[in-house]
A and B are shown apart, each in its own frame.
Chain A
Amino acid sequence: MGKTLSILTKNFKNINVDTIDDYLAAGGYEGLRKVLSLTPAEVIEVIKASGLRGRGGAAFPTGKKWEQAARVKEDSYILCNADEGEPGTFKDRYFLEFDPYRIFEGMTIAAYTVGGREGFIYIREEYRRQREIVLKALEAARAAGFLGKNILGSDLSFDIKVVSGAGAFVCGETTALIQSMEGGSGRPKIKFQRTAVSGLFGRPTLANNVESYCVVPILFTKDAPVYLSQGTEKSKGSKVISLCGNVERPGVYEVPFGITLREIIYEIGGGIKNGREFKFAQIGGASGPIVSKSLLDLPYTYEDFGKKGYSLGTGAILVADDTNSVAEFMVTIQEFFVHESCGKCTPCREGNRQLLKLAHKIADKKATVEDFLTVKRIANVMNKCSFCGLGTAAPTAMVSAIQHFYDMYN
């Protein structure tokens, strides 16, 4: 377990979240105190220098996003995306459950930096228990003066509301999430302006993932140098991963960037369950690639994965042992996307339907060479033409599986 870190996740299961006292005792809100002594521009510089990228999966540079939001003169809504819908991902759940005040602190820093008075945490409908915890924590933070008017004696007034989703996977996509919050159906919507300019209710909006907000306070505390010394030049700090599947010790772990999959699976995860052989892993959720043994030593960084054409996604790592069939797993993945496509655009709605049929054909060992070419052709259309990230990423698993397991399919 020596490979894990305890900087961002140091409070997990260590503090009592019923009151704010433990969080404060553990150094909570020191980041905000420091931020309040800086100008917004200075805050953005610090975030930019940290190289922090969106931890929800899209990996957009957080500093750049905040800078765009700060440029907008009006107040922005500070939106926290806690829809955590990628299968195999449950790290945001830990923040919601074991360190909610950190989320509030990150959002409050955002409010100060980009200018905002109202924040929303959009929590997936399935996280009912976490929702209750967050609601209680919000009350505690409000009572202690960390939310509300003139926070910490400053001019900053900011409060947070909780909004529940209705269960659609696509609502993790920002425009769909906003539609859902506005009371519409959760479908992505065309935008001609950045969310920073026109988001929720057509107002300027800053939207970030739970973990992204949680990293921010660290950057303004004494832990910052330690945190930033982790990882690589291009992927600084740590990532919170959700390790699951056929490993001895599944769970949420904070790992330094640059660690290899082998280290994650065998050292942190305790190896394959019941002493079986590793067969494949899926990285970053259902939208992520399938990797075989040959990639076990690939460093877990944005840049190394990027070179392979992959992303780290949400931080999910799903491990499968040799009793699993890749082809059957593909059927499961495609069933998921056929269920979750919102149906708005042709490539995603019809493409996933076709891929599922082909996945069945492959699993039934009835696929021809032409069928594999068809998978690639449809995947190409989906990847290049889909309306939102759901559709562009949906064929990733199948395409990567074919790449790595072509022989096995044969």
Chain B
Amino acid sequence: MKTCTLSINNKKVTVEAGTTILEAAKLAGYYIPTLCNHPDQAIKANCRICVVEDKTAGKFVASCSAMVYEGADIHTNTKEVRELQIGILELILANHPNDCLNCIRNETCELRKLCERFHVRNYNLAHETDIYPIDNTSGVLVRDRNKCIKCMRCVEACQETQMVGILSPSQRSVNTNISAGFNENLDETLCTFCGQCSAVCPVGAIYENDETEKVWEALHDPKKHVIVQTAPAVRVGLGEEFGMPRGSKVTGKMVAALKMLGFDKVFDTDFAADLTIMEEGHELLSRIKNGGTLPMITSCSPGWINYAEGFYPELLDHLSTCKSPQQMFGAVAKTYYAKKAGIDPANIFTVSVMPCTAKKYESKRPEMNASGYRDVDVVLTTRELARLIKNAGIDFTNLEDEDFDSIMGASTGAAVIFGATGGVMEAALRTVYEVVTGKTLEKIDFDEVRGLEGIKEATVDLDGTPIKVAVAHGLANAHKVMEMIKNGQAKDYTFIEIMSCTGGCAGGGGQPVGANKSIKARRIDTIYNIDKEMPIRKSHENPEIKQLYEEYLGQPNGPLSHSLLHTHYHPRRHK
């Protein structure tokens, strides 16, 4: 490894050549302020707040984009550097609404934190904010361009990480703004609602459509039987909102908090994930047996579904017809559960807590009403659940663990790994192997499909029949896989898992902001640890799932399953 020794504020530090001054400073113990910088993204050097003085070169440089070199004498806190950094901050504020009290990002706003850090309280620049209408046409993501600081992180998330290309900078100078499509409302575009833009926005310019009030309303309505389901990835993200270490496992606290909030039943989407495996696994076997369209692709990530419908409408036959676990849960809740509990499904109000913004879109799809009622009434993101808990004044970090309620609360290790990229594939393989071979799977962990590599492949031996599978996460990788299918280069694949977001749901667009790949990796580690500790690790062994089939559904992929748990897709068009 080639190294460089440089001095930062007179402190010698040796780093790998090619490191930015910003990163080197971190190693020397200094956090240089940043706004446009994001560790998972390309260097942009737009905001310039990371300016430092390079005394060797006799100039001021943006430390995010300036590389270290041998003998560099860098200063991050000189009088002039501070004046420049504060100057830039003031220039941003002069164009910012500065209504932090009303802003959804108040506590998590990177700009506000910098103001606090630099103690910017008043300045003498003329205040001129932009005047754009707020776009909440989608009911999923809200865009408030007036708060935008033009860092371009959302653009990179949309164009590079996700390759969806809905958001782009338009106009120039003081009119620079981020446009959706050709200056359209979000619902008119082919936005997948993955929400990665909202997860990387440093301020409150793009955020989830907050629906916590709807939940309060239901909770306060004595006629309503309000039940809640929580997705696998929420339990490894939620704690971050309460200052707990990134990737903390807070399953029990989350359940306790939900009970304190007044939910009549606290169920687990993991239960529905096991159900999904039963349905999807059998669908796959049926496709293999009956010459159905292969490779079959998973359908539990609604951002991915939106992408496929928008960008690959000719390949929709490859998608599993299974609804996502969220929607399966809703459909079962308003039929099977309603019947068993003796409650009129009209009075059941289903809330789901998801690491995902696209789940909001999914729940609003007109076809998601197989029971005669909306499968899911309201979707909250992890961030909104935290807001709900804070709103209720619950001391989250000190809660005693509680357990999910029965009869849709039991789950397996196979279900919880749905929250990580590769998890659905692994869960499916655990079940499919045993169903096909009739043998017990010795090695439960499929390490080949784990991890953060963009596209992963594995060949699994099903009792003498090798099947080739692939896993992709992040829509840019989905794009690659779909191009392969389109060009006939994926014929030897049988089953493919695609997740809309990098890392899978653990890195979902509705998870706590401020995450990066290493934080996502920590959440994923926790997910696999939970799996390891589960007494049951295969979906088909979930007792409540067995009970569901015995008492109600009959067979996986049977007629009732088909009407309740499966769906169909249609091309999405640019309006």
Q: Could you tell me which A residues sit within 8 Å of B by CB distance?
A: 168, 170, 185, 187, 190, 192, 338-347, 349-354, 357, 370, 374, 377-378, 380-381, 384-387
Contacts and interface: CB of A to CB of B under 8 A. Distances in A.
Given A190-B45, A380-B83, A381-B87, A352 B173 contact: yes
Contacts of B67: 192
Contacts of B59: 384
B548 interface: no
A192 B45 CA distance: 12
Given A345-B47, A346-B150, 15 more contacts: A168-B172, A185-B169, A343-B171, A343-B176, A347-B87, A347-B88, A350-B91, A353-B174, A354-B126, A370-B124, A378-B91, A378-B125, A381-B83, A385-B60, A386-B48
Contacts of B174: 338, 341, 343, 349-350, 352-353
Interface in B199-255: none
Nearest to A185: B169
A190 B43 contact: yes
A342 B47 contact: no
Nearest to A391: B48
A356 to B, nearest CB: 9
A395 B91 CA distance: 15
Contacts of B272: none
B44 A190 contact: yes
A357 B126 contact: yes
Contacts, number: 105
A385 B48 contact: yes
A346 B92 contact: yes
Contacts of B391: none
Given A346-B46, A354-B126, A339 B60 contact: no
Across the A-B interface, the 10 shortest Cβ-Cβ residue pairs: A343-B176, A350-B91, A381-B87, A341-B173, A384-B60, A385-B48, A343-B172, A357-B126, A343-B173, A385-B51
B175 interface: yes
12 contacts: A187-B172, A190-B45, A338-B174, A340-B173, A343-B173, A345-B45, A345-B48, A347-B88, A350-B92, A381-B87, A381-B91, A384-B51
Contacts of A190: 43-45, 65
A185 B60 CA distance: 27
Contacts of A384: 51, 59-60, 84
A192 B62 CA distance: 13
B49 interface: yes
B61 to A, nearest CB: 9
A352 B46 CA distance: 16
A346 B125 contact: no
A273 B324 CA distance: 79
Interface string B123-134: 011101000000
B94 interface: yes
Contacts of B150: 343-344, 346, 349
A353 B95 contact: yes
A351 B124 contact: no
Nearest to B96: A350
A370 B125 CA distance: 11
Contacts of B65: 190, 192
Contacts of B171: 343
Given A353-B128, A357-B126, A387 B45 contact: yes
Interface residues of B, number: 34
A268 B142 CA distance: 62
B49 A342 contact: no
A38 B95 CA distance: 58
A46 B174 CA distance: 46
A346 B176 CA distance: 11
Contact of B173 (A185, A338, A377): A338
Interface string B158-201: 00000000000101111110000000000000000000000000
Contacts of A168: 172
Nearest to A374: B124
B109 to A, nearest CB: 16
Given A185-B169, A354-B126, A386-B48, A377 B83 contact: yes
A348 to B, nearest CB: 8
Given A345-B46, A345-B48, A385 B84 contact: yes
Which has the most chain B C-beta neighbours within 10 Å: A187, A353, A357, A385?
A: A385
Interface in B29-71: 43-49, 51, 59-60, 62, 65, 67
A339 B94 CA distance: 18
A378 B176 contact: no
Interface in B3-20: none
Contact of A377 (B44, B87, B92, B149): B87
Given A354-B91, A387-B45, A342 B62 contact: no
Given A338-B174, A374-B124, A381-B88, A346 B169 contact: no
A349 B173 contact: yes
Interface in B392-406: none
Contacts of A344: 46, 150, 176
Contacts of B88: 346-347, 381, 385
Interface string B413-435: 00000000000000000000000
B48 A346 contact: yes
Contacts of A185: 169
Contact of B48 (A374, A377, A387): A387
A357 B124 CA distance: 12
Given A168-B172, A338-B174, A350 B48 contact: no
A349 B173 CA distance: 5
Interface string B83-109: 110011001101100000000000000
Contacts of A187: 169, 172
Nearest to A351: B91
A153 B416 CA distance: 74
A99 B45 CA distance: 40
A187 B150 CA distance: 14
B504 to A, nearest CB: 31
Contacts of B45: 190, 345, 387
Contacts of A192: 65, 67
Nearest to A168: B172
A350 B35 CA distance: 15
Contacts of A374: 124-125
A190 B67 CA distance: 13
